[in-house]
Amino acid sequence: MANTNLGSVNQRSYDAIVIGSGISGGWAAKELTEKGLKTLVLERGRDVKHIVDYPTANKMPYEFEHRGDMSNAAREANPILSRANAWQEDSDHFFVKDNEHPYVQKKPFDWIRGYQVGGRSLLWARQTQRWSQYDFDGPARDGFAIDWPIRYKDIAPWYSHVEKFAGISGNRDGLEELPDGEFLPPNPLNAVEDHFRKSLQEKFEGRHLIASRFANLTKSTPTQLAQGRSQCLSRKLCRRGCPFGGYFSSNSSTLPWAEKTGNLTLRPHSVVHSVIYDEEKGRATGVRVIDSQSKEAIEYYAKIIFVNASALNTNLILMNSVSKRFPIGLGNDNGLLGKFVAFHNYNTTIRAEFDGLPEFATFGSRPGSTYIPRFRNMFRQETDFLRGYATGFSARRNLSSNRSGIGVDLKESLLNPKLGGWHVGAHMMGETIPKESNTVSLEANKTDSWGMPLLNIDIEYDDNDLKMEIDSLEQLSEMFTAAGFTNIKTTHKHQAPGIDIHEMGGVRMGKDPKTSLLNKWNQLHACKNVFVTDGACMTSTSTQNPSLTYMALTARAANHAVEEMRKGNV
């Protein structure tokens, strides 16, 4: 029974409830509060306030016990987390440890999480590319998944809306396959990156290398200054939390903005148990919460509910939201909740050396790198696998010292490092095909510390993924060779899904309630006042980093939710 002695129902009632405070939850909070709705944001983790709660932000390397590396003991205690590149001594406090929040792996899956206010928006890679018309057309054209209920024209103005507020740098490249946005000035390419760009342009039709589009402020506009954010200083310490607000996060941007309206209530330490469905009213009326510290059960009420707990946790919450009307999960009339989960595939990398352009060098740091948009199967089917992959590329020239000497010779060498040659590297980001066999479900007989059923993850790669991985190494090797790169080395990592973070699906959008859970406005078909706008809503994954699309879908859905609420339709 929920505790009803925590004040009256009115004191626990709001216009809107948002579950989760990460990238999409923060945007839901901003949009709803700006439009005048009293909004409760529930976060299962601890509070993290911008600037105040970034304990390592300004530490020097020597101030860390292990100079930034995780200890062997910590890695042995966290075999899953230890595979996450961003988990280091300076960011350890922002990651969920393996034993704190267990889950069941029917097949190997590395689930990397950040349970705190801001979620993984404190840790993301900040790469932001729009989808194109071809991406939304993909399922209908290629015959996998189901047709998206929206197209690029539906979301384009919302991309612009979030880009202007968040601050996205980039060039206007004029590519059909990667639409331009509302950009701040880009970081320039270095000499070898520009050399590779020219090589692709001359020798490979339809393949383009562009400056990365990313959510670091190369310039502070009045919009970002009003948020209290300043220009990125290129420290490349983003994973610590940026006290300058140089990159976009919920903590530095959307949540403080929502708080300024006076309409925001933020409640950390709130593990959402389920969404409450009222059989008589035929709608959701609130959310059941377990206080993570006291273990008390509390109910909160609202007219509209946004579920933005991150893709897999959103699936978990909806599956745990059972009632007489929805015995197998809220809105799950077709039994598809938790199915057709997909993700991105980073299973291959390639590196090489370059002896040219010795008159140029790289110094200092720079967020972002360069990006090659998908070129396989973009406008026609040309391979024996479906869909394709994007590529991240970077080049760097480092200083190095000869450490083989002793005495004065060694001292002189260390004090006078010399430039080495150029090193280049690239990685794939492949689209996986949503399949009914890739599922998440509830492990009813196993629960966590708060009595919640554990999530059972049953996800794996398939033959399509393997063919794509092989092709990426072949094509990149060919492109590297054509550019004059030497000593080319390829790596086929064969890592488990999940470590690449971009999990999507399980509560997919669609036109038909028989084959999807959400409509074109991200509403549950069978429960119109519940919205899902995080990764769980995705019908397919494309190859772009997904966070910008989550933000745009959230802003669009929030605007629609307020309009419908004021009309009395939800």
Beta-strand relationship, 264-267 and 39-42: parallel
Q: Identify the burial level of 156 via C-beta atoms within 10 angstroms of its C-beta, where 0-12 means exposed, 13-18 middle and 19 or more buried.
A: middle
CA atoms of 451 and 445, how far apart (whole Å): 10
Q: What is the reported pLDDT for 354?
A: 97
Provide the CA 370 distance to its chain's centre, in angstroms.
19
pTM listed for this prediction: 0.95
Model confidence at 556: pLDDT above 80: yes
CA-based nearest residue to 502, from 532, 535, 461: 535
Q: For the chain, how many residues are written? A: 570
Specify the 3-state DSSP secondary structure of 335: coil
The pLDDT of 141-159, averaged and rounded, is 95
Specify the 3-state DSSP secondary structure of 112: coil
Q: What is the reported pLDDT for 366?
A: 81
Provide the CA 349 distance to its chain's centre, in angstroms.
20
| Token pair recorded at residue 415 | 């004090």
Model confidence at 1: pLDDT above 50: no
Residue 231 to residues 57, 120, 148, 361, 514: CA-CA distances in angstroms? Answer: 16, 21, 37, 24, 48
What DSSP line would sit under 394-441, residue for residue?
Answer: EEEEEEE---S--HHHHHHHHHS-EEEEEEEEEEEEEEPPP-TTSEEE
Model confidence at 262: pLDDT above 90: yes
Model confidence at 453: pLDDT above 80: yes
Do the beta carbons of residue 540 and residue 139 sit within 8 Å? yes
Q: How many CA atoms lie within 13 A of 441 on its CB side?
A: 15
Provide the CA 245 distance to its chain's centre, in angstroms.
18
Going along the chain from its start, the domains and CATH numbers come out as 1-170+245-340+503-570 (3.50.50.60)
Mean pLDDT, the chain, rounded, equals 95
| Token pair recorded at residue 428 | 């794939």
Start-end of H helices in 290-401: 311-320
Position 556, amino acid: R
Position 341, amino acid: V
Q: What is the pLDDT of residues 169-200, one digit of tens each?
A: 999 999 999 999 999 999 999 999 999 999 99
Residue 227 to residues 79, 221, 309: CA-CA distances in angstroms? Answer: 39, 10, 24
Q: What band does 7 get if pLDDT is binned at 50, 70 and 90? A: low
Q: What is the reported pLDDT for 461?
A: 96
520 contacts: CB under 8 Å, gap ≥ 6: 149, 150, 154, 509, 511
Model confidence at 160: pLDDT above 50: yes
Q: What is the reported pLDDT for 63?
A: 94
Helix (H) or strand (E) holding 260: helix 255-260
First to last CA, the chain: 27
CA-based nearest residue to 115, from 320, 309, 343: 309
Model confidence at 295: pLDDT above 60: yes
Helix (H) or strand (E) holding 490: strand 486-492
Beta-strand relationship, 339-342 and 523-524: unpaired
CA atoms of 318 and 305, how far apart (whole Å): 12
CA atoms of 132 and 175, how far apart (whole Å): 9
Q: What is the reported pLDDT for 2?
A: 52
Q: What is the pLDDT of residues 70-88, one digit of tens each?
A: 999 999 999 999 999 999 9
Angle at the Cα of 372 (from 367 to 376), degrees rounded to 5? 150
Q: What is the reported pLDDT for 5?
A: 53
CA atoms of 370 and 199, how far apart (whole Å): 14
Model confidence at 520: pLDDT above 60: yes
| Token pair recorded at residue 261 | 């309206």
307 contacts: CB under 8 Å, gap ≥ 6: 19, 20, 275, 314, 317, 318, 530, 531, 532, 534, 536
Secondary structure string (H, E, C) spanning 168-217: EECCCCCECCECCCCEECCCCCCHHHHHHHHHHHHHCCCCCCEECCECEC
Q: What is the pLDDT of residues 211-251, one digit of tens each?
A: 999 999 999 999 999 999 999 999 989 999 999 999 999 99
Q: What is the pLDDT of residues 301-354, one digit of tens each?
A: 999 999 999 999 999 999 999 999 999 999 999 999 999 999 999 999 999 999
Q: How many CA atoms lie within 13 A of 470 on its CB side?
A: 9
Position 475, amino acid: Q
pLDDT over 70 percentage in the chain: 99
Do the beta carbons of residue 266 and residue 22 sit within 8 Å? no
CA-based nearest residue to 29, from 220, 253, 311: 253
Q: What is the 8-class DSSP label of residue 495?
A: P
The pLDDT of 147-163, averaged and rounded, is 98
Model confidence at 495: pLDDT above 50: yes
Which residue is associated with the tokens 């492990």? 443
| Token pair recorded at residue 148 | 């998206």
CA atoms of 98 and 87, how far apart (whole Å): 12
Q: How many CA atoms lie within 13 A of 498 on its CB side?
A: 22
The pLDDT of 429-454, averaged and rounded, is 95
The pLDDT of 418-447, averaged and rounded, is 95
Do the beta carbons of residue 421 and residue 338 sit within 8 Å? no
Model confidence at 523: pLDDT above 50: yes
